[in-house]
Structure 1
Amino acid sequence: MILVAFRRIFKAGWQNFSRNLWLSVATVGIMMVALFVFSSLVLFNFFTSEIIEIIRNKIDLSVYFDANIDESEIFRVKDILAQLPDVERVEYLSREEALKTFNERHSNNDVVRRALEELGINPLQASLNIKVDQGGSYETVVAFIEGAPFKALISKVNFTENKLIIERLNNIVSAIQRFGWGVIFVFAGLAVLVAFNSVRMAIYSFKEEINVMRLVGASRWFIRGPFMVMGLVVSLIASAIVFLIIWLAVLGFGPRINAFVPEISFNEFFSENFFRILFLQTLAGIGIMFFSVYLAFNKYLKEEN
């Protein structure tokens, strides 16, 4: 008996979808846009998170010392910093090594080379390059340095500049994400509006059948069931098409992105999160459609009572 009821509900739901085919297609289209923006935002969030992490990994904390500071004092500071729990390694760069690196970097720049020759002295400072552990905090190390007794030996700490770069990048990413969520809500609202009208037309198309079912005492669940099935069909079709488009885009553009940023693999991310993305995308589509069915059906019942 239950199987027969389910069969009838699914059959009626498919009839609802096919009877108002053009409106159903429009609903699928607007749902696809909403789900595409949602999936794109997920991939964008992954991309920006990886970019920020790459930048953080390439940034180190450089502590510069005055030219008159004895090398033994610098090594004493190095040993102290190396013992901090957040610190992975501390590398010493002498003034001579810094000058050699600078000259190699600007070997083709005659202006810089002549300026150094006219200066006649090494203007660069000895420094300690500090790298923190995975999950470690540069801010903690900087705070320790600022309050340490050897602070008077230090002329400059360059992490503030690097921190500003990360903060600005985070602000840009946050603004884009907020905009993306706003677009999602707009298209989700449009999807609800279109789906609501689609379901209402389907309800009025089956008005006589609904009245008969109500007269014979059919439950609300049984009456609403075909329209839920219609919403399910719309959301599954939209989700499947969008997922296929995203998948093809990742396969097509993933290697090109990897060529520019080797540390980021969209293909790997998509493979690892294949079912999660599909599930969330489908769940979002079903949620929008079921909410639309609920609103349309409740409005119809109020009008009939």
Structure 2
Amino acid sequence: MGFVSFWRNRLLSLATSVIIFLALFIISVFATTTMIANNVSTALKNKVDLTIYLKDSISEDQIVALEEIITARPEVTSIKFVSKTDALNIWRLRQAGNLDLQNVITEEDNPLPQSFEIKTINPEDIQSVASYFDNVEYASLIQEISYEQSKALIDRLIKITHLIKTVGWALSAIFILISVLIVYNTLRLTIYSRSDEIEIMNLVGASGFYIRGPFVFEGMTYGITGAILAAISFYFSYRFSMPYIRNYLSTSDISATLSINVWLIMATQLLIGLLMGAICSLLAMRRYLNINKKK
């Protein structure tokens, strides 16, 4: 009976299902976008480290003492000492395709400084470590502390991620609310159009489940139709966009993350669609029965 009513009012049913489809699809897109932004942000955060460049005048004993002080910091997870020779080798590797630049710096005339490369538990801890060593006490040992460029990039990315989340969830909430109102009012119209039939069923002693069942099924049909459309659209959008995402975000393991979560997102769409239709049906039916009792 619920499906018959769905088909009888197919234009209204299709319009209702399309609204649900749009809501669920937008939620999925923003959820995926947020997932990508979080993944990229995490990947970049893990690449950020703090480099402390040392003065050429620093002695071996001072290097050892400074390394012990850095290691003792609770925020520090790893520390790597880069000697002048190591720095030269890194330079030559980076200039592997340019022999002229490779030969500009020699071992005898090496201006590249020694340094400590430091990683912290959280990228946010870099600031406290940098501030600790950026003072007069260590001025005679430290030439420069470098991390500001990476920090600015991470800060911008975090702001963008927060903006995506805020806008995404706000739009998703608006569309969900619109969908709920449309489904609810569509079902109310259906219920009122069949009020005589419902009254007869009440008079002959039909159970509440028997009366409500067709309307709940109709609401679930709206929801599942919209959810199936959303799931199909999301899946093909994912398949189409994945090659471009891999190309632009080659440093991030986003492909594996999305592959794991794409089916979860689609299953969630179906669940939300079913629940939305069922709950709206029950609410509409309850309101109708309450109004009739007052009469």
TM-score interval (norm. to shorter): 0.7 to 0.9
Q: What is the one-letter code of the residue matched to 2:230?
A: V
Residue 8 of structure 1: aligned partner: none
Query: Once the two structures are superposed, what CA deviation does each residue of 1:80-132 show, in whole Å capped at 9, x if it has no partner?
Result: 53576742341315399479839x77x99xxxxxxx9xxxx987643211234
Question: How far, CA to CA, are the matches of 1:234 and 1:68 in structure 2?
Answer: 76
Q: What is the one-letter code of the residue matched to 1:213?
A: M
**1:261 alignment partner, one of 240, 249, 268:** 249
Question: How far, CA to CA, are the matches of 2:123 and 2:266 in structure 1?
Answer: 37
If the length of structure 1 is used for normalisation, what is the TM-score?
Answer: 0.78
Residue 216 of structure 1: aligned partner: 204
Instruction: Check whether the contact 1:16–1:230 (CA below 8 A) recurs between aligned residues.
Output: yes
Q: What is the one-letter code of the residue matched to 1:52?
A: S
Residue 20 of structure 2: aligned partner: 31
Unaligned runs of 5+ in 1: 1-11, 109-115
Aligned residues between the structures: 284
Change (3 A) 1:215 1:100: closer
Unaligned runs of 5+ in 2: 99-103
Whether 2:11 is the aligned partner of 1:14: answer: no
**1:265 to partner: Cα distance:** 5.4
**1:267 to partner: Cα distance:** 5.0
**1:204 alignment partner, one of 192, 204, 214:** 192
Residue 29 of structure 2: aligned partner: 40
Residue 163 of structure 1: aligned partner: 151
Query: Once the two structures are superposed, what CA deviation does each residue of 1:24-51 show, in whole Å capped at 9, x if it has no partner?
Result: 1001100000000111122112211111
**2:250 counterpart SS class:** coil
Change (3 A) 1:224 1:125: same
Whether 2:120 is the aligned partner of 1:92: answer: no
**2:221 counterpart SS class:** helix
Instruction: Check whether the contact 2:220–2:275 (CA below 8 A) recurs between aligned residues.
Output: no
Change (3 A) 1:267 1:246: farther
Instruction: Check whether the contact 1:199–1:296 (CA below 8 A) recurs between aligned residues.
Output: yes
**1:38 counterpart SS class:** helix
**1:22 to partner: Cα distance:** 0.7
Whether 2:270 is the aligned partner of 1:282: answer: yes
Counterparts of 1:68-217 in structure 2, within 5 Å, are 68-82=57-71, 86-94=76-84, 97=87, 101=91, 125-132=113-120, 136-140=121-125, 143=128, 146-147=131-132, 151-152=138-139, 153-217=141-205
Q: What is the one-letter code of the residue matched to 2:274?
A: I
Query: Once the two structures are superposed, what CA deviation does each residue of 1:49-82 show, in whole Å capped at 9, x if it has no partner?
Result: 1111121122111112345333542344235535
Instruction: Check whether the contact 1:81–1:87 (CA below 8 A) recurs between aligned residues.
Output: no
Residue 45 of structure 2: aligned partner: 56
Question: How far, CA to CA, are the matches of 2:132 and 2:255 in structure 1?
Answer: 46
If the length of structure 2 is used for normalisation, what is the TM-score?
Answer: 0.80
**1:17 to partner: Cα distance:** 1.0
Q: What is the one-letter code of the residue matched to 2:49?
A: D
Choose 290-299 or 232-241, whichever is displaced more: 290-299
Q: What is the one-letter code of the residue matched to 2:80?
A: V
**1:159 to partner: Cα distance:** 3.4
Instruction: Check whether the contact 2:246–2:255 (CA below 8 A) recurs between aligned residues.
Output: no
Question: How far, CA to CA, are the matches of 2:257 and 2:87 in structure 1?
Answer: 41
The percent of aligned pairs where both chains have the same amino acid is 27
